[in-house]
Structure 1
Amino acid sequence: MRRLEGADGPLALDTERASGFRYHDNAYLVQMRRGDEPAVLLDPVAFDGEAMAELQSVIGRQEWVLHAATQDLPSLHALGLSPAALFDTELGARLLNLPHVGLGGLLDDLFGIHLKKEHSAADWSRRPLPEEWLAYAALDVEYLVELRDEVERLLTDQGKLEIARQEFAAEMDFEPRQKPGEPWRRTSGITAARTPRQLRIVRELWNERDALARQRDLSPHRLIPDRAIMAAATNAVRNEHELLALREFNGRGAHSELRHWWAAVQRARASQEPISVRVPHEGVPHHRSWVRQHPEADQRLRTARSALIEIAEAHDLPVENLLQPRVLRELAWETSEPIDAAEVATRLAELGARPWQTELTAAPIAEAFREAASA
């Protein structure tokens, strides 16, 4: 910790997680580097909340440099760590509209430095961590500050530094959006379940798997995959032995947790609870259905999107960074009557658009909606 406190400049920071292995997306290694000091590798599992609070008192006053900050910030927030300011080199590269925005690609393009990424999908929750993994992890923060300075220079040259600052500030309190609706309905292959009984089996097995995975901190798919759930739902098995005999019913927990899976199937078969075969919609319907079911909203969306594409090209920005597609869809869906630029600007701000986005897009969106209404 003394290395970090005594060094100068922003703090390069990264985390390693175990997303494909664990239920919770916790950080299992935190890499930090500041100034000319070597990287500090912290095992957060070995420290309590008091230690994390002490670390926050040291690093919470600096600007943090992260690459793809939204991937790391939730797990850092869970540790009680948050920055005073943020510079996201990946987001900066996107605003520059560079051809490669991954860390390896950026370092290669801008500095000719080649990073190996062979351990990026490893199980970082294992202990002890191999030395070669630790060396790999340290390299993720080795060049981040130099990359930050180069990306800032390019943003300044393109007149986008203020845009980037607003985007970085918006990321500071980032938390993943919770997907609405019933998550079990996103089971792969669920369209094969065509009856209420089959859907109840999918739901019960999905919920049982999720509860076991949460309890044991395992990735749900490491217990049984989605194809196992669908096999159980679409085959008329009579007992747990026939369930296990299904070719698709496999996975690390297929046999060891068989009593849980069979109990879930039995609960589903005994249930008389009404269940909709069609997916119930909450909020804005999927925009692909608009052209048939909501043509006026579809026309507003298409006309406004064309206007935003022109603006993005004029400013050399990816259109998804000019304005989040979700924001445009919500605005197009709810705007049944033409509105002026000031009303659009107010609603954009309410939906989370940054001032620079509102300045560039409010008037064109209002004009596009008027054009769509008169078409």
Structure 2
Amino acid sequence: MADHTVIDTRDAYLTATAAIRGGTGPIGIDAERASGFTYSQRAYLIQIFRRGAGTFLFDPPAIGDFRELNEALGGEEWIFHAASQDLACLREVGLDPKRIFDTELAARLLGIPRVGLGTVVEELLGIHLAKEHSAANWSTRPLPEAWLVYGALDVELLPDLRDRMTEMLETDLKTDIAAQEFAAVLAREVKAVSPEPWRRLSGVHSIRGQRGLAVARELWLARDRLAQELDISPGRLVPDASLTAAARAMPASKQALADLREFSGRASRSELDRWWGAILEGVASTDLPSLRGNADLLPPPRAWADRNPEADLRYKAARTALTEVSEQLAIPLENLITPDYVRRVAWTPPETIDPESIGEALGRLGARAWQIDVTAQRIADAFVEVHQTIEVPPETDS
């Protein structure tokens, strides 16, 4: 039976670190955040399981620095389910693995249709794993016992799951593919902060004109500052739909803003002066945003037939070819090759179309060696076929 006591003192943490060091084999690890509740993406609970040591539940805000634990684990393999979701918040407290095994990613590579931890555990280990607290507010203190039980179970089965998946990857000849994918997750750089993060507002495309976009920008910035100050998820203060509705309506007075039916949320009225000030700032701004936004973004594929017909044909032909490869290898298309890479190569192909040039282009974008091995030839063949179709139009009756 796992100990569900939360470790929240330095002394208890150091004792636990010594116990974990004395365990054997890889460690199962998970982190719980409070996404949707708090502004920060920090970890509010870190769970660790290691055979021969047991299960440990840590309170990161109380402990602070986990450097000793990181050193104790050395080069051991860390087992995650969806590592990309947890690495940033773990690194924030000093936990930075050198080797990982990602059971969610392994499930994708094995062609398992549903890759949630509960589903994969049930399918491969025959154990039902309840997931009713996955969206809980983990910044709550004290944490309810039921949540702690849930958190412990999330890691206690990871070593067994990893062992089963290792066997399956070997059987499917995908061990090297998995190793490349795990290494890529570890090496992936943190995404650069967008220079215009406000453009992620839901419904921003419905706002007309640069002035309306300037108002939307100032409303977003005002909400973001307040959310950061209060450590509350921005959407819990005022929903995106309310900000875009205000930017579309362009109310002429503070009262008109207050009367706007769509302008709602817990801070829509209590912070009305703040929102009205943001609108005035947007209206008066001389720094008007462009209508197009990030020029690096490709048009959506649905618009390619009109804007770049040849690219549209290349993309569709490549998608068809890659779908066949995906089915042959039982690897989802999005894991076989990043869809954006295919779009970019189709939009701006190399001057000479062959497997080598396509492979080089994919590599520059970030494709792994195994991905290039299984896709470059097929993409090149698809592009050449399209080019030949364009160069030699069908014969017509004279």
What band does the TM-score fall into relative to the shorter chain? over 0.9
* Runs of at least 5 residues in structure 2 that lack an aligned partner in the other structure: 1-16, 390-398
2:368 maps to 354
User: How many Å apart are 1:95 and its aligned residue?
Assistant: 0.5
The size of the alignment, in residue pairs, is: 373
**2:121 aligned partner, one-letter code:** L
1:41 maps to 57
Cα pair distance change 1:33/1:358, threshold 3 Å: same
1:14 is the counterpart of 2:5: no
User: How many Å apart are 1:195 and its aligned residue?
Assistant: 3.4
Give % identity: 46
1:367 maps to 381
**1:196 aligned partner, one-letter code:** Q
Deviations 1:266-307 (A, max 9, x none): 112223444444555324333332111011111111111211
User: How many Å apart are 1:90 and its aligned residue?
Assistant: 0.8
Q: Over aligned residue pairs, what C-alpha RMSD do you find?
A: 1.9
Write out aligned runs for 1:74-223 (5 A): 74-178=88-192, 182-223=196-237
CA contact (8 A) 1:181 1:281 kept: no
| Other structure's SS at 1:107 match | helix
2:85 maps to 71
CA contact (8 A) 1:107 1:113 kept: yes
**2:339 aligned partner, one-letter code:** P
**TM-score, normalised to structure 1's length?**
0.93
CA contact (8 A) 1:297 1:333 kept: yes
Cα pair distance change 1:82/1:60, threshold 3 Å: farther
**TM-score, normalised to structure 2's length?**
0.88
CA contact (8 A) 1:66 1:87 kept: yes
**1:230 aligned partner, one-letter code:** T
| Other structure's SS at 1:317 match | coil
Of residues 149-158 and 125-134 in structure 1, the stretch that sits farther from structure 2 once superposed is 125-134
1:3 is the counterpart of 2:19: yes
For the residues of structure 2 that align with 1:16 and 1:340, how far apart are their CA atoms?
A: 46
1:343 maps to 357
CA contact (8 A) 2:211 2:288 kept: no
CA contact (8 A) 2:210 2:289 kept: yes
User: How many Å apart are 1:180 and its aligned residue?
Assistant: 5.1
1:55 maps to 69
* Runs of at least 5 residues in structure 1 that lack an aligned partner in the other structure: none
**1:28 aligned partner, one-letter code:** Y
1:330 maps to 344
Equivalent in 305, 314, 320 of residue 300 of structure 1: 314
Cα pair distance change 1:196/1:354, threshold 3 Å: closer
CA contact (8 A) 2:28 2:78 kept: yes
For the residues of structure 2 that align with 1:180 and 1:285, how far apart are their CA atoms?
A: 18
For the residues of structure 2 that align with 1:61 and 1:336, how far apart are their CA atoms?
A: 41
Cα pair distance change 1:354/1:162, threshold 3 Å: same
For the residues of structure 2 that align with 1:134 and 1:115, how far apart are their CA atoms?
A: 14
Cα pair distance change 1:346/1:295, threshold 3 Å: same
Of residues 274-283 and 186-195 in structure 1, the stretch that sits farther from structure 2 once superposed is 274-283
For the residues of structure 2 that align with 1:47 and 1:282, how far apart are their CA atoms?
A: 42
1:286 is the counterpart of 2:300: yes
| Other structure's SS at 2:134 match | coil
